[in-house]
Amino acid sequence: MIAKAKHLLDSCLESGGHIVVLTGAGISAESGVPTFRGEQGLWRNYRPEELATPQAFFRDPKTVWEWYNWRRSLIAECVPNAAHHALVALEKRAAKFTLLTQNVDGLHALAGSQNVYEVHGSIWKVRCTNCGSEVVDRAQPHSTVCAGCGGLTRPGVVWFGEALDEAVLGAAFEALSSCDLMLVIGTSALVQPSASFADIALARGASVININLEENPLVRPGILSLLGKAGELLPRLLG
């Protein structure tokens, strides 16, 4: 399987094709960032509707901020792993490369990836719910008050029930519309719209390689699935 995936990747690199990568929490698991689902997943111990919805936030901003401050302090201690670094190397070799990530941890940029779209926002961004200003602010624990207008600030992430940033979503669809090879790495492929990205790439005629520790809904005919750790498989795939 890995030989076949390697062949697909090498052919795409040689022909100057567009490589689109979609990552999920699994790619950061080996860096120590908790995933959402599965045995050790965050959603085992916390209820998304109490922490990751606009309703939860406006009901109890203090509790939601406490949870995000806890995650921010945890992620601040994490560094990119071999899988993040492999994608940096891949971007340098590819004629055209787009990285779409559902992760809010910022580890792709920290590793050195350039053309990255954070479809669920960034845990390091803070947005004012009053004046709308958004800044990167790593202060910890973060205050809930906007420095500009004194309004209530919120984490710059996308919560359940919220729309994705239009520009980011537009860039994602544009990338998929010219994709020749797609790598889907470390996602349960359950949350829309990212869960449909592989189908969009397939419909346009791209090859899709799915890398995951366990079976996910993308383990099906027409998609080449490699089961194992991203931090081990990706460096092997890239030789």
The residue within the footprint of ligand OAD, chosen from 12, 31, 36, 72 (CB under 6 A), is 36
Catalytic: 120?
yes
Q: Is 51 in the site for ligand OAD (CB under 6 A)?
A: no
The residue within the footprint of ligand OAD, chosen from 35, 98, 113, 210 (CB under 6 A), is 35
Q: How far is CA 148 from CA 66, 132, 134, in A?
A: 22, 10, 11
Q: How far is the CB of 234 from ligand OAD (least distance, A)?
A: 9
Nearest CB to ligand OAD, comparing residues 102 and 113: 102
Considering 84, 108, 120, 142, which one is annotated as catalytic? 120
Q: How far is the CB of 26 from ligand OAD (least distance, A)?
A: 2
Per-state percent for the chain, helix, strand, coil, to nearest 5: 40, 20, 40
CA–CA separation, 78 vs 228, rounded Å? 21
The residue within the footprint of ligand OAD, chosen from 213, 219, 224, 238 (CB under 6 A), is 213
Which residue's CB atom is positioned nearest to ligand OAD?
26
CA atoms within 13 A on the CB side of 26: 26
Helix, strand counts (H, E) of the chain = 11, 9
| Locus of tokens 């537009």 | 170
CA–CA separation, 177 vs 152, rounded Å? 39
CA–CA separation, 31 vs 211, rounded Å? 17
The residue within the footprint of ligand OAD, chosen from 214, 217, 220, 222 (CB under 6 A), is 214
Interaction pattern, residues 72-101, with ligand OAD; x per rule: CB under 6 A: ------------------------------
Residues 155, 140: contact at Cβ < 8 Å? no
The closest of 127, 138, 126 to 73, measured between CA atoms, is 138
Q: How far is the CB of 15 from ligand OAD (least distance, A)?
A: 27
State the catalytic residues. Answer: 120
Q: List interacting residues with ligand OAD (CB under 6 A).
A: 24-26, 29-30, 35-38, 41, 52, 102, 120, 158, 160, 186-188, 190-191, 211-214, 216, 229-230
